[in-house]
Amino acid sequence: MALDLETRDQLIDTVRRFVTERLRPLEAQVAEDDAIPDDIIAEMKALGLYGLSIPEEYGGLDLSMEDECLVGVELGRTSPAFRSAFGTNVGIGSQGLVMFGTPEQKAKWLPGIASGELVTSFALTEPEAGSDSAAVQTRAVRDGDHYVLNGSKRYITNANKAALFTVMTRTNPDIKGAGGVSAFVVPRDLPGLSIGKPEKKMGQQGAHICDVIFDNVRVPAENRLGAEGEGFKVAMQVLDRGRLHISSVCVGVAERLIADCVAYASERKQFGQTLSNFQLVQGMIADCKTEAMAAKALTLETARKRDAGESVTLEAAAAKYFASEMVGRVADKAVQIFGGAGYIADYGIERLYRDVRIFRIYEGTSQIQQVVIARETLKRGG
Ligand code: COS
């Protein structure tokens, strides 16, 4: 639902103040501890951040895609690990249920997801099925009014905190590709489900990814999302939406880095003048600004199209491709403008440089986005 302009401005202002006053001062500590303090998580829940995209009738804020992206830009102005804490509840962990859940499934789980009482997670990737996500091997075999799940998932965001997983499995082994895949909502506490240790990562400390292992996990048949064989389409439509959300966060991080560069270049003096006086530095700032503006325009335009009910498979892939590559270039230039200070930990620029690297990989690599964009363009005839 689109908010009226006044309510939208109030929400954005509230999120901006939360980011500036509460999250930014904690960035270094969160990276050091690899954990977000409990009181911050509680504040995120109280602000409604876990339920940004959940329909109002289930306790969420039911934001339009455009409003969610505007909030995403604000959240991008701090370490992306903070957003990750509730990112799966807002995005890939909940949207299968929102888009494909039965009324009973929604009533059972969405209120807890919206409040943050239930952390939810999206389990698609496997050791042998990354970009080729239709190749999932985790099996779900029907047994009476249950399915029995066996297999393992890899690099699953928030798996160690999740109470609920949307799991893509193969229900029909005779169909090797997408048509044999079905989606299930799987509670964490079912016997036979276990979680691996959080992986050590390049960046985004405070956000965690783990393996999820299924050993004869009996899942009630009523937990299936959509019909048998529809699981891949569930995943793809969830990702279309998720890619837009990620694009907005990339824009926010870029805007943050540009502001940091402007502040630093306006203070730091060399050859008797501030860096901001040098046209070669100005050129880098101009490139960063232009690219961030272009990514923002593409993201918001795509969000408005989605809100209008159009299919945005191509546009969401283009936004994710451009915005994630853009923020990589901006972070690289930020290190350059800060010089030696950009390379050492105290200024936080090298941390953001590492943090943004994953944006080009998760929810579909840049190369997968290129595949999607090219296929859709060829299909549309231009
Ligand atoms: N929305 C709805 N349906 C979609 C869709 C979308 N965005 N994308 C594909 N489909 C449908 C297709 O229409 C096709 O249906 P039919 O068989 O009825 O025609 C089916 O799904 C299979 O699609 P396709 O043939 O394109 O599948 P491919 O195996 O060729 O794979 C890519 C397509 C590579 C695009 C897909 O596997 C992908 O996005 N991979 C990356 C996954 C990813 O982002 N992983 C990150 C982990 S999650 S954090």
Identify the CATH number of the domain in which residue 345 sits.
1.20.140.10
- CA 244, 137, 177, 232 dihedral sign is negative
> Is the same domain home to 283 and 335?
yes
> Is the same domain home to 241 and 362?
yes
Q: Which residue in the block uniquely carries the two structure tokens 């783990």?
A: 210
> Is the same domain home to 323 and 267?
yes
> Is the same domain home to 133 and 12?
no
Domain span including residue 181: 120-228
From CA 132, how far away is CA 371, in angstroms rounded?
12
The pLDDT, as a whole number, for residue 1 is 76
> Is the same domain home to 272 and 238?
yes
Chosen domain end from 177, 211, 228:
228
From CA 249, how far away is CA 91, in angstroms rounded?
13
Q: Can you give the CATH number for the domain in which 71 is found?
A: 1.10.540.10
The pLDDT, as a whole number, for residue 346 is 95
From CA 219, how far away is CA 187, in angstroms rounded?
8
Q: Which two tokens stand for residue 380?
A: 């549309």
Establish whether 68 is a catalytic residue. no
In a 13 Å sphere around the CA of 233, the CA atoms on its Cβ side amount to: 10
Catalytic-labelled residue, pool 27, 66, 255, 363:
363
The pLDDT, as a whole number, for residue 6 is 94
The pLDDT, as a whole number, for residue 121 is 98
Closest CA to 124 of 94, 154, 146: 154
> Is the same domain home to 238 and 374?
yes
Chosen domain end from 187, 210, 228:
228
Sorted by sequence, the CB contacts under 8 Å of residue 338 that are 6+ apart come out as 260, 261, 264, 347, 349
327 contacts 254 by C-beta, under 8 angstroms: yes
- CA–centroid distance, 273 to ligand 1, in Å, is 54
The pLDDT, as a whole number, for residue 206 is 98
Q: Which residue in the block uniquely carries the two structure tokens 């505007």?
A: 70
> Is the same domain home to 14 and 90?
yes
Q: Which atom of ligand 1 is nearest to the CA of 133?
A: 37
> Is the same domain home to 44 and 133?
no
Q: Which atom of ligand 1 is nearest to the CA of 237?
A: 1
Q: Can you give the CATH number for the domain in which 194 is found?
A: 2.40.110.10
Q: Are strands 224-225 and 209-220 parallel, antiparallel or unpaired?
A: unpaired
> Is the same domain home to 248 and 372?
yes
Q: Which two tokens stand for residue 335?
A: 């290190």
Phi, psi (deg, nearest 5) at residue 214: -115, 120
- CA–centroid distance, 232 to ligand 1, in Å, is 7
382 residues of the chain, pLDDT tens digit each: 778 999 999 999 999 999 999 999 999 999 999 999 999 999 999 999 999 999 999 999 999 999 999 999 999 999 999 999 999 999 999 999 999 999 999 999 999 999 999 999 999 999 999 999 999 999 999 999 999 999 999 999 999 999 999 999 999 999 999 999 999 999 999 999 999 999 999 999 999 999 999 999 999 999 999 999 999 999 999 999 999 999 999 999 999 999 999 999 999 999 999 999 999 999 999 999 999 999 999 999 999 999 999 999 999 999 999 999 999 999 999 999 999 999 999 999 999 999 999 999 999 999 999 999 999 999 999 9
> Is the same domain home to 131 and 48?
no
> Is the same domain home to 265 and 376?
yes
From CA 115, how far away is CA 2, in angstroms rounded?
20
Chosen domain end from 164, 196, 228:
228
Task: For residue 3, count other CB atoms closer than 10 A to its CB.
Answer: 18
The pLDDT, as a whole number, for residue 322 is 99
From CA 156, how far away is CA 207, in angstroms rounded?
11
Question: pTM of whole model > 0.75?
Answer: yes
The number of angstroms, rounded, from the C-alpha of 281 to the middle of its chain's C-alpha atoms is 32
From CA 380, how far away is CA 382, in angstroms rounded?
6
> Is the same domain home to 191 and 248?
no
Number of domains in the chain: 3
Q: Select from 126, 199, 232 the residue to mutate for testing ligand 1; criterion: most ligand atoms less than 8 Å from CB.
A: 232
Q: Is 133 in the pocket of ligand 1 (CB under 6 A)?
A: yes
Closest CA to 140 of 176, 171, 103: 171
